[in-house]
Amino acid sequence: MNNLADKVKQRIAILGSTGSIGLNTLDVIAHHPDRFEVFALSAATQVDVLLQQCVQFKPVFAVMASEPHGRALEQKCRALNLPTRVLCGAAAITMIAAHESVDAVMAAIVGAAGLASCLAAARSGKRLLLANKEALVVGGDYFLQAVAQGGAKLLPIDSEHSAVFQALPQDAALWPRQIDKIILTASGGPFRQRAPETLRDVTPEQACAHPNWVMGRKISIDSATMMNKALEVIEAHFLFGVQPQQIEVVIHPQSVIHSMVQYQDHSVIAQLGTPDMKVPIAYGLCWPERMTSGAAALDFGSMSDLTFESPNANGHPQRFPGLKLAWSVLQATPGSTAVLNAANEVAVAAFLDGRIRFDQIHVVNLETLASVVPSRPESLEDLLALDACSRSAAQQVVQRVC
C-alpha cells in the first residue's frame, strides 16, 4: 500500500457516500485533490445524490444497493456520458471494498448491513476507516481476527473513538499497561434536561433535533436514547482492548472535548475540537500525518465554560436506561452485543415509522435480549444468522407492544 508521504494519490472507496459521513469525506477529499482520488462510491437509495457525486468525482465504480436503483443510476450516467461503471447489490459493494486498486475504504454504511463489506476490506489489508460502529459491535473478536489476518490498518472515525486514538501512544503494545480508563463524552442529546416521564410523547422530529451534531435519522435517535453511547462503549472495548469496567461515560453538553484517556498515573489526555466530523475524517485519511480538514477552529476566548455531569445524576438512569446495556452484554455470552444491535435497529425503525413510542425502544431491546440466547459466532454466516434471528425476535416484541 502506498504511504501518504510518497505523495502518490490515495485511491478511496466510500461505502455509504450519500450519508453524512460520506458527504463530509468527499468534502475533505475535494480540498486535497493532490492527495486523494475517489475510486468507488456506494449508496442505498439516493440515486440523484450519487449521480452528482459521479459528475464531480468521476469514480471508476458506483454501486447502488438494489437493482432498480442501480438501473436508474446507470441510465442517468449514460445520458451524461459519464465514464463510471454502475453496479448494484451487496456483492458489488463487497467487491469495491476489496478491490486491488483501492488503498483506503471509508466504511460508512449504517448498521449491520455494512458488516460484510467491512470484513472484505479488512481481509484485503486496506486502510479501513471505520465509521460503521456496528462492524465491531456485531463482529467483535471475529472482525478483529479478520483485521489481523489481512494486515489491515483499522482507524476509528467516530468522533469519540478517534479522540481516544489520538490521545493514545502510537505503539499499541503500550496501551494495556498505561491505560487506567477511557472516558467517552456524550452530549446528552436533545432530552438531557427533559423530565423522563414526558419522553413517551416525543416525536421522531423532536428526537432527531440534535443540539450539536448534524447526523442521519437513525444515529440521531440513538443519540437521543444514548444507545449510541452504549454501542460506543462496546466498540471501545474491542478497539482498544480494555475491560468494560475501564470505560466510563460522562455527559459534556458542549461537545468540545470528544473523549479522554486517563493513564495509570491519573493524568488525563483529551482531544478537543469543534463538533465537525471532517476533523476525524481528515485524521483517518491522512494518519499518521495531519492536514487541513475544512472544520472551523476552536475559539477559546468565546467559551464561557465546559461542563460535565454523570449520566447517573438527576434522574438520568430513567432518561437513558439503554446506556447500562453496554456493560451487561459485554459480560454476557459472546454474540449478545450483536443481539442488542439488531434489536435496537428494529426498535429505532419502528419508532421512526410511528409503530412504537420513544420510551418503548428500550423495552424492545430489553425483551429481545431476554428472548435470544446466542452462541459464540465463528463465521460471517453465524453472525448473519444471529442478526436475522434477533431481528425476528425484536419484530415480535414490536408487534406485541405497539
**Residues found in the chain:** 402
Cell numbers linked to 256: 468540545
pLDDT in tens, 127-175: 999 998 888 999 999 999 999 999 999 999 999 999 999 999 989 999 9
Q: What is the pLDDT of residues 127-138, one digit of tens each?
A: 999 998 888 999
Query: Which neighbouring-strand residues pair with 23?
Result: none
DSSP annotation of 294:
S
Q: What is the average pLDDT across 310-337? A: 86
CA atoms within 13 A of residue 122's CA, in its CB half-sphere = 22
Close Cβ partners of 119 (under 8 Å, ≥ 6 residues apart): 135, 139, 143, 146, 380
Find the distance separating the first CA and the last CA of the chain, reported in whole Å. Answer: 51
pLDDT digits (tens, 9 = 90+) for 339-356: 999 999 999 999 999 999
93: left (phi over 0), alpha (psi -120 to 50) or beta: alpha
What is the grid cell recorded at 378?
465463528
Could you give the CA distance from residue 268 to residue 245 in angstroms, rounded to a whole number?
17
Domains of the chain are 4-157 (3.40.50.720), 159-324 (no CATH), 332-396 (1.10.1740.10)
